[in-house]
Structure 1
Amino acid sequence: MKIYNIKRTQYLPIKLSEAWEFFSTPANLNKITPEHMGFEIRYASGGKKMYPGQLICYKVNILPGVPVDWVTEITHVQEPHYFVDEQRFGPYALWHHQHHFREVKDGVEMVDEVNYAIPYGIIGRMANRIFVGKEVKTIFDHRYKVLQDYFQNRIIKA
């Protein structure tokens, strides 16, 4: 199985506590996911506050008009520094997404790192080369822009 990796670093002009509050709230995923994906949270166990073991169930279009169910589990949480979500059921053979937050001068450094694999052997590798890898990159390009726009006018208050 071939494992692919995408890593993005972004600086946001906000406090660490504000970054944590935003990113650890599953409902905010809809704000940063491209609209064409038809992303919809169907269920989140245990309420709104993220915790290790929390399950989040989504409906998402992997191709236009092709919705699939996707279930992720929050496997690790160290507030306010990082959390990890992993796919339990869904379109990938593997999905391991790390979210890291670090206070820096004038804001927060946020690092997203995803390791993923596509099922179906050589067919999955071809699919990644033709469109899946591009789509994953497009998702994180979109997130970057949306987050930049959303947080750009924030003023860090002591």
Structure 2
Amino acid sequence: MTWRAWHFGIPIRMTSRITQMEAPDYFVDEQVKGPFRRFRHVHEFSEDAAGTTTVDRIEFAAPFGPIGRLVEKLVLARYLQRLIETRNRHLSGDLTVE
């Protein structure tokens, strides 16, 4: 799957592939082409009396060596966490857009 989005005012294009799946418990998608040196996203699902819970685990590495690692720590880790949290609120219907 290839998607396009704007992040930090820059158009980003990323192609990922599902590399593992064990329905209905989890699936893993990994970048095959895009802005990261490495990007792996594990989507885990569990059910209980309240419904389905989703847990996202993201492993990534930025390009550009030491500068990329600094950007990971200072900006990207927090940005990606907020992005996933916002997406999950939207998917659950808990997001109010003004």
TM-score (norm 2): 0.83
Are residue 122 (structure 1) and residue 71 (structure 2) matched? no
Q: Provide the residue aligned with 2:2 in structure 1.
A: 57
Q: Provide the residue aligned with 2:34 in structure 1.
A: 90
The CA deviation string for residues 54-81 of structure 1, in whole angstroms up to 9 with x for no partner, is xx011122321x1122100011122211
- Structure showing the higher strand proportion among its residues: 2
Quick one: distance in 2 between partners of 1:127 and 1:85? 23
The CA deviation string for residues 7-42 of structure 1, in whole angstroms up to 9 with x for no partner, is xxxxxxxxxxxxxxxxxxxxxxxxxxxxxxxxxxxx
Cα offset for 1:121?
1.2
RMSD across aligned C-alpha pairs, in angstroms? 1.6
Structure with greater contact order relative to length (CA < 8 Å, sep ≥ 6): 1
Q: Give 1 or 2 for the bigger CA radius of gyration.
A: 1
- Matched residue type, 2:6: N
Divergent runs of 4+, >6 A: none
| Worse overlay, 104-113 or 139-148 | 139-148
Query: How many equivalent residue pairs?
Result: 94
Cα offset for 1:129?
2.8
Helix, strand or coil for the counterpart of 2:93? helix
Unmatched tracts of structure 2, length 5 or more? none
Quick one: distance in 2 between partners of 1:147 and 1:69? 22
Unmatched tracts of structure 1, length 5 or more? 1-55, 151-158
